């Protein structure tokens, strides 16, 4: 098992703008330290990684993901009550109200 602590390069979510609390210099500094890019460079220098291999791997992975998506799109959506019932052993009254309202609609 390997535990790696590093810098979060992207935002927390689509509503987050890290430029509000990070400087361009900070981000650029961490880009130079990016462990994925550093490891890729290490593998390339030793002949274990090439752009051709990466492109082939990306195509293979994309195909696998697209097939998985197609399979899952054939699965019917879950029942509405599972949004609530699968979360709570004993559903709080206010959540029960929300479930009842959702079922009415």
Model confidence pLDDT, tens digit, residues 86-102: 788 888 999 889 888 98
Is 22 in the active site? no
pLDDT of residue 74: 97
Is 88 in the active site? no
Confidence band of 78 (pLDDT split at 50, 70, 90): confident
Model confidence pLDDT, tens digit, residues 10-48: 898 989 999 999 999 999 999 999 988 999 999 999 999
Q: Which two tokens stand for residue 31?
A: 């880009």
Taking the model in full, what pTM does it have? 0.55
- Annotated catalytic residue, options 20, 21, 32, 46: 21
């Amino acid at each position: 098992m390997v535990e790696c602590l590093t810098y979060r390069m992207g935002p927390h979510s689509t509503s987050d703008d890290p430029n509000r609390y990070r400087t361009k210099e900070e981000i650029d500094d961490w880009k130079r330290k990016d462990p994925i890019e550093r490891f890729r460079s290490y593998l390339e220098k030793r002949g274990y990684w090439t752009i051709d291999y990466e492109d082939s791997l990306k195509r293979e992975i994309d195909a696998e993901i697209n097939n998985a998506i197609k399979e899952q799109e054939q699965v019917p959506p879950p029942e509405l009550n599972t949004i609530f019932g699968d979360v709570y052993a004993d559903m709080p009254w206010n959540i029960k109200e929300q479930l009842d309202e959702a079922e009415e609609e």
